Amino acid sequence: MTSLRTFQNEIDKISHLKRSVTADVPSIPETHEPPDPDKVDEDRLLDIDERVQTLLLSGKPEDRDRARHLLTSVLTRGWGEYIFRIGSFPPHASLFLGEPSEEGKGVYGIPRTIEELNSIRNTVTEIVDELGGKTSILYESITTNPIRIALLLRLPPPSVALTPEVRCAVVGNVDSGKSTTLGVLTRGALDDGRGRARVSLFRHKHEVESGRTSSVGMEILGFGPSGTPILPSTSHSTELDVIRREKMSWEDISIQASKIISFIDLAGHERYLKTTLYGLTSGAPSCVLLIVGGNAGLIGMSKEHLAISLALSVPVVVCITKIDMTPAPKLQETIQQVTKILKSRGCGKTPVFVKSAETAVELSQTFAKERLCPVFQLSNVTGEGLDYLRTFLNLLPPSEGDTEKFLADQPLEYCVTEVWSVPYVGTVVDGIVNSGKIKAGDAVMIGPDSNGNFETTMVKSIQRKRAPVNGAEAGQCVSMALKRMRRAAVRKGMVVVHKTETPPRAIRRFEGQVLILYHNTTLQRNYQAMLHCGAIRQTVRIISMDHPQGVLRTGDRATVTFEFISHPEFIKEGMKLLFREGKTKGLGVITKLL
């Protein structure tokens, strides 16, 4: 028996080894200052705040210039965004878990007086204003020790093409409050307790009638330079028709936003599990928002969605909703259940209940690396807890900043996740740029088709969040109009690459190291299951396995040879895969192409 954590660590190593070249971290521009004291090194980012504060308090013009250069450098490196901390701060163990700490032990930063704190804050605000940015207060504590303040420094992006984006998948059981929570976050108006907030999110008539999401919906929330959410002017209206009709277009939000949160609204019903799985594997989310109804607890498909998120190694954020209508004993029971499941051996997460802005800010920067699980308690009717969630979302690192997953210096690889036929435009594809760059007018190839061939076409135009852009880079999600391509010739799971004399090879058979997460009997040769690998969703057959007994049971691990049933696909060594059939689930990584 192999534990899930051990197997995940091993397949992560395989994924990294299979990548031929890793992306280099962007370098900081050279300056006219002496190189050693002013160089912004990744390992020294923690003491940037202290160095800037020391320079600003000296009162010398040359020191102010050096501080200005340091702030410019970290803003350039950090996607135009930086959290600047002034004062001394409690250790994370004390802040997150409430663990008592000895006097002064674990505290980081330099203690400041109120006068020093105000002087530094005013000068930093002036510098950021000179750079064309905005400074806003994330949280401050000037009445209790230690005295501290955290500022958000943010530069507006030059264009929509460079706006940082965070992709979040929203999952949970039926009637847990997924669509209502998204409606409140993106539209601004609180719910009336009878489903008013979710009406504007439904895309089909049967969804409005049943109140249940059946498709992969996409909603966006924009944050301005000062960190305030961008909401429609009718956000406080009580008229259903006004709420549904008067909503901001994605283009309007994108033009104003300094950061965009893209919510992938996934179905909660068991009937639509394959749709939810496709959204989790193809959307490359930075985190998963698991919505848990306070009156029901972690039940049904919520456990399934949590297990899938853990299997795919996607960081999880839990939102307990309906706290206004849930009796106190039942709410406490739900909290205890969520805590127990997160701490269990299978999850291995440490739940952190967010009850302050400071906790939300600090968690947004560390939760993914430290196996922490933020837990928010929300009411979409009273608005309780929503501000903490907005603060957390506003500060999440952008998805395209993951240089291990998205390789900017590699050849173009664009994965198709959606296909449409648009009148007077033609065939339009939506997807994610996994590597390289693409711009309008590029000659490209798309495939493989049912025979494994690639067809040549050209990119007519590109849109990002429905706003026209000239090009796209690795990690970005964009839509492209393709020249002279039939809608029937394009399907989900295809890839777009730059035109070359030798097209990529389409694969019919491949080997993978797999771990059987659950199966009620035994897996044998010729067993068929639905494979999810990125945007690929196709039935595969087991050709052979290296297990001594020739069969696989729950917890077994083996090297398995798979074959696609319908048509060949474009896959690469190191890609993670998930296969399922009924309640059977397996996790793995592609190790060899045959």
- Residues 461, 373: one domain? no
Give the H or E element holding residue 140.
Answer: strand 134-141
pLDDT at position 155, please?
Answer: 94
pLDDT at position 485, please?
Answer: 94
Among 492, 490, 489, 518, smallest CA distance to 581 is for 518
User: DSSP class of residue 162?
Assistant: G
Q: What are 419's two structure tokens?
A: 């296909």
- Residues 529, 545: one domain? yes
Tell me the CA distances in angstroms from 50 to 84, 120, 122, 469, one per residue in order.
10, 11, 16, 39
Stated length of the chain: 594
- Residues 111, 233: one domain? no
- Residues 246, 393: one domain? yes
- Residues 367, 513: one domain? no
Query: Distance between the two ends of the chain, CA-based, in angstroms?
Result: 28
Does residue 503 sit within a domain?
no
Strand spans (E) along 236-281: 259-265
- Residues 174, 308: one domain? yes
- Residues 246, 392: one domain? yes
Does residue 15 sit within a domain?
no
377, 401, 425 - which closes a domain: 401
Give the separation between CA 319 and CA 313, rounded to whole angstroms. Answer: 19
- Residues 144, 289: one domain? no
**Residue 589, domain extent:** 509-593
Give the separation between CA 55 and CA 467, rounded to whole angstroms. Answer: 42
Whether the CB-CB separation of 308 and 576 falls below 8 Å is answered with: no
Does residue 11 sit within a domain?
no
Give the residue ranges of DSSP H helices in 515-569.
Answer: none
Beta bridge partners of 43: none
pLDDT at position 249, please?
Answer: 82
Of the CA atoms within 13 Å of residue 197, those in its CB half-sphere come to 24
Whether the CB-CB separation of 150 and 138 falls below 8 Å is answered with: yes
Does residue 2 sit within a domain?
no
Does residue 19 sit within a domain?
no
Query: What CATH number corresponds to the domain at position 459?
Result: 2.40.30.10
154, 180, 206 - which closes a domain: 154
Whether the CB-CB separation of 552 and 558 falls below 8 Å is answered with: yes
- Residues 72, 131: one domain? yes
- Residues 120, 170: one domain? no
| Amino acid letter for position 322 | K
pLDDT at position 14, please?
Answer: 81
Give the residue ranges of DSSP H helices in 78-113.
Answer: 92-97
Does residue 30 sit within a domain?
no
Give the H or E element holding residue 178.
Answer: helix 178-187
Which residue matches tokens 């109120």? 114
**pTM recorded for the entire structure:** 0.89
Whether the CB-CB separation of 211 and 247 falls below 8 Å is answered with: no
Which residue matches tokens 């945007």? 535
- Residues 247, 391: one domain? yes
How many domains does the structure of the chain reveal?
A: 4
Q: What are 118's two structure tokens?
A: 């105000």
Buried/exposed 150-176: b ≥16 CB within 10 Å, e otherwise: bbbbbbbbeebbebbbbbbbbbbbbbb
Query: What CATH number corresponds to the domain at position 187?
Result: 3.40.50.300
Tell me the CA distances in angstroms from 19 to 23, 403, 405, one per residue in order.
10, 12, 10
Sign of CA dihedral 477, 480, 486, 487: positive
pLDDT at position 1, please?
Answer: 47
342, 376, 401 - which closes a domain: 401
Does residue 236 sit within a domain?
yes
Residuewise pLDDT in 10s, the chain (594 residues)? 457 778 877 888 887 777 654 333 333 333 333 334 444 443 344 588 889 999 999 989 999 999 999 999 999 888 899 999 999 888 887 788 776 655 556 677 888 999 999 999 999 999 999 999 999 999 998 877 788 999 999 999 999 999 999 999 999 888 888 888 988 898 887 877 666 666 666 554 545 444 454 445 788 999 999 999 998 876 565 565 665 555 778 888 999 999 999 998 887 666 667 778 888 888 889 999 999 999 988 888 888 888 888 888 899 999 999 999 999 999 999 999 999 999 998 888 999 999 999 999 999 998 888 889 999 999 998 999 999 999 999 999 999 888 888 988 899 999 999 999 999 999 999 999 999 999 999 999 999 999 999 999 999 999 999 899 999 999 999 999 999 999 999 999 999 999 998 889 999 999 999 999 888 888 999 999 999 999 999 999 999 999 888 899 998 999 999 999 999 999 999 999 999 888 888 999 999 999
pLDDT at position 203, please?
Answer: 53
Cis upstream peptide for 504 (omega within 30°): no
Which residue matches tokens 């020739």? 550
pLDDT at position 39, please?
Answer: 45
Does residue 27 sit within a domain?
no
- Residues 318, 421: one domain? no
Give the separation between CA 361 and CA 359, rounded to whole angstroms. Answer: 5
Helix (H, G, I), strand (E, B) or coil at 301: helix
Q: pLDDT of 185-242, one tens digit each?
A: 988 878 776 666 666 665 545 454 444 544 457 889 999 999 999 988 765 655 656 6
